């Protein structure tokens, strides 16, 4: 004897697609359908926000009768009020208000590069630092350049780069550019 098992299962198909009508608004329709093994998923389902009064939904070629402003709630763009407040006058809310500015502190300098020369105080090291916390502002520069390689250059190169003079460190009896 063969046992026949009938499996009934449900498949839910969800589709989402975007329509751009002539008025420029973007509408997203989501439809879903359920089927059993004997049915085929048709994709014809209820659209979220669809008028169920029996009228057909608006097509891309139809215009919108109500203006966009009329469909907004009456408190659109207003700050919520405390119900205990004696002042019942509503004030406009400025969404472009500047956030509160805080003063941060700089981290230690970090070397972003090595010295790009070997002598004469001709080299430059680029370094940087960060403002902490990052949402705050710090005064002063983010990057800096400091001279490096202060040893005297060997002949035939000039001993020191422009702006520096050859000097002697008497205790160590060595020359340097400074």
Longest dimension (CA), the chain: 112
Q: Distance (Å, rounded) from C-alpha 38 to C-alpha 18? A: 30
List all residues 6 or more positions away from 167 whose beta carbon is below 8 Å from its beta carbon: 175, 176, 177, 178
Q: Does the pLDDT at position 133 exceed 50? A: yes
List all residues 6 or more positions away from 101 whose beta carbon is below 8 Å from its beta carbon: 136, 137
Per-residue pLDDT tens over the stretch 144-167: 998 888 788 887 788 888 888 888
| Least confident span in 10-19, 21-30, 96-105, 126-135 | 10-19
> Cα 132–145–158 angle (5° rounding)?
165
Residue 41: both structure tokens together: 């998923």
Nearest to 176, CA basis, from 120, 123, 125, 124: 120
Q: Distance (Å, rounded) from C-alpha 43 to C-alpha 39? A: 12
Contact 152, 120 (CB under 8 A): yes
**Cis link prior to 178 (omega < 30° from 0)?**
no
Residue 57: both structure tokens together: 């939904």
> What is the pTM assigned to this prediction?
0.37
Q: Does the pLDDT at position 37 exceed 50? A: no
Q: Does the pLDDT at position 10 exceed 70? A: no
Give domain limits for the chain: 10-50, 105-177
Task: Band the pLDDT of 173: cuts 50, 70, 90.
Answer: confident
Q: Distance (Å, rounded) from C-alpha 121 to C-alpha 112? A: 18
- Tell which wins on pLDDT, 139 or 4: 139
């Amino acid at each position: 004897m063969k046992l026949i098992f009938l499996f009934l299962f449900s498949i839910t198909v969800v589709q989402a697609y975007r329509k751009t009508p002539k008025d420029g608004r973007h509408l997203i329709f989501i439809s879903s359908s359920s089927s059993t093994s004997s049915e085929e998923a048709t994709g014809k389902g209820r659209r979220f926000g669809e008028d169920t009064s029996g009228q057909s939904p608006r097509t891309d070629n139809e215009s919108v009768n109500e203006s966009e402003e009329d469909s907004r709630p009456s408190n659109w763009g207003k700050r919520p009020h405390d119900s205990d407040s004696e002042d019942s006058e509503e004030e406009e809310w400025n969404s472009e208000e500047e956030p509160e500015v805080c003063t941060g502190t700089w981290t230690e300098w970090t070397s972003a590069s090595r010295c790009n020369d070997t002598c004469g105080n001709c080299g430059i090291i680029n370094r940087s630092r960060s403002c902490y916390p990052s949402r705050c502002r710090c005064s002063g520069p983010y990057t800096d350049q400091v001279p490096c390689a202060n040893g005297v250059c060997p002949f035939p190169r000039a001993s020191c780069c422009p702006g520096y003079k050859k000097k002697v460190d008497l205790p160590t009896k060595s020359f340097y550019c400074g």
